[in-house]
């Protein structure tokens, strides 16, 4: 399945024409995603390659994200995947509260550059058993410093990937 992320209405992007996410087959609790960014790829600020390890603050630059919760649950997990191959996972008890860093296996992350597109492939384990409600998102920073925020759904107001209205994709039902 393939989904198109929407640019937040208060943002603009000179470099990015679009962001799509494709999900591979779900195997148990492992999810495989392919993010595809199209546009002027050379005008995007790509993080430098790094060891594939946990790191904080990835969302402050170009980063691809998934938020996952079980239907009716207040708590959720945030997954950050950097083109550098660094990653982060945070668990929240409620909306932006009670954050912890769960002990999880690191995801597999691989990026591929083209002249007019960039692909980020990730494979990681979702928490618990299906079904899940997901919010798919991306932060794209351009070389001029401008950031754009992309998601399946945006709640009113500032960009907020944590908001319950963003969890619009049901998976594993």
Using an 8 Å Cβ cutoff, are 50 and 85 in contact? yes
pTM, two decimals, is 0.96
- Separation CA 78–CA 89 (nearest Å): 6
> pLDDT by residue for the chain (173 residues), tens digit each?
899 999 999 999 999 999 999 987 677 789 999 999 999 999 999 999 999 999 999 999 999 999 999 988 999 999 999 999 999 999 999 999 999 999 999 999 999 998 899 999 999 999 888 899 999 999 999 999 999 999 999 999 999 999 999 999 998 87
Domains (range + CATH), the chain: 2-171 (2.60.40.1190)
66-99 b/e (C-beta count within 10 Å ≥ 16 → b): bbbbbeeeeebbbbbbbbbbbbbbeebeeeeeee
């Amino acid at each position: 399945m393939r989904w198109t992320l929407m640019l937040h209405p208060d943002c603009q992007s000179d470099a990015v024409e679009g962001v799509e996410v494709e999900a591979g087959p779900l195997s148990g609790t492992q999810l495989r995603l392919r993010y595809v960014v199209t546009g002027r790829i050379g005008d995007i600020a790509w993080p430098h390659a790094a060891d594939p390890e946990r790191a904080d603050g990835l969302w402050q630059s170009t980063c691809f994200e998934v938020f996952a919760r079980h239907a009716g649950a207040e708590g959720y997990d945030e997954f950050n995947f950097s083109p550098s191959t660094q990653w982060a996972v945070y668990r929240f008890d409620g909306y932006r509260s009670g954050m912890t860093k769960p002990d999880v296996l690191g995801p597999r992350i691989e990026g591929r550059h083209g002249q007019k597109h960039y692909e980020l492939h990730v494979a990681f384990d979702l928490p618990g058993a299906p079904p899940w409600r997901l919010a798919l998102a991306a932060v794209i920073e351009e070389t001029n410093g401008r950031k754009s925020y992309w998601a399946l759904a945006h709640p009113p107001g500032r960009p907020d990937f944590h908001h319950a209205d963003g969890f619009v994709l049901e998976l594993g039902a």
